[in-house]
Amino acid sequence: MAVTELVSKCLQARDLAYCPYSRFPVGAALLTADGAIVTGCNVENASYGLTVCAERTAVQRAVAEGHRQFTAIAVTCDIKDRFVGPCGACRQVLMEFGSNWTVYLTKPDGTYIETTLHELLPLPFSPEHLAKN
Ligand SMILES: O=c1ccn([C@H]2C[C@H](O)[C@@H](CO)O2)c(=O)[nH]1
């Protein structure tokens, strides 16, 4: 799988964002261990608090479609002059499915930088801690 494909899918997903309150569209594209791409966008709500981020929409959709192993995620928003990372809640939700994710922070023009979930969420709380008790 070319990174450019994952990046282009997250840009397409961002264009589907439902964000009438913030007007801040976000797109995410997950790469599964077997090579499938599952996308998500943020879905806001009039209650504000029930808004779901793009990354979590993608994870929930992927799990509901039978995927539990992931290798990478590309995320994007509308900010042109810097690379923007996932919010803390989304980092935690990604961590549920392993720390070994490559994360591509993507600008609207498709340029990206590569980091890892481990780098974005050091010293995490993760399922393995529960397993030790
Ligand atoms: O990592 C993030 C951070 C924010 N948002 C969404 C939530 C809300 O709809 C909008 C503004 O916070 O961006 C995401 O989708 N992912």
pLDDT tens digits for 18-58?
999 999 999 999 999 999 999 999 999 999 999 999 999 99
With a 6 A CB cut-off, is 24 part of the ligand 1 pocket?
Answer: yes
With a 6 A CB cut-off, is 105 part of the ligand 1 pocket?
Answer: no
The complex scores an ipTM of 0.99
Q: Domain limits at 17?
A: 3-131
Taking only the tens place, the pLDDT of each residue in 65-96 is 999 999 999 999 999 999 999 999 999 999 99
What pLDDT shows up at residue 131?
82
Per the structure, the count of domains in the chain is 1
Domain harbouring 76, CATH code: 3.40.140.10
8 A C-beta contact, residue 83 and residue 105: yes
Ligand 1 centroid from CA 104, angstroms: 16
- CB contact set of 84 (below 8 Å; sequence gap of 6+): 75, 77, 105
For atom 10 of ligand 1, the residue with the nearest CA is 24
32 φ/ψ angles, rounded to the nearest 5 degrees? -85, 165
Q: In what order do the strands lie in the sheet with 112-116?
A: 37-41, 27-32, 70-76, 102-106, 112-116
With a 6 A CB cut-off, is 59 part of the ligand 1 pocket?
Answer: no
Q: What is the DSSP letter of 36?
A: -
Return the ligand 1 atom nearest residue 53 CA. Answer: 15
Give the residue numbers annotated as catalytic, written as ranges: 55
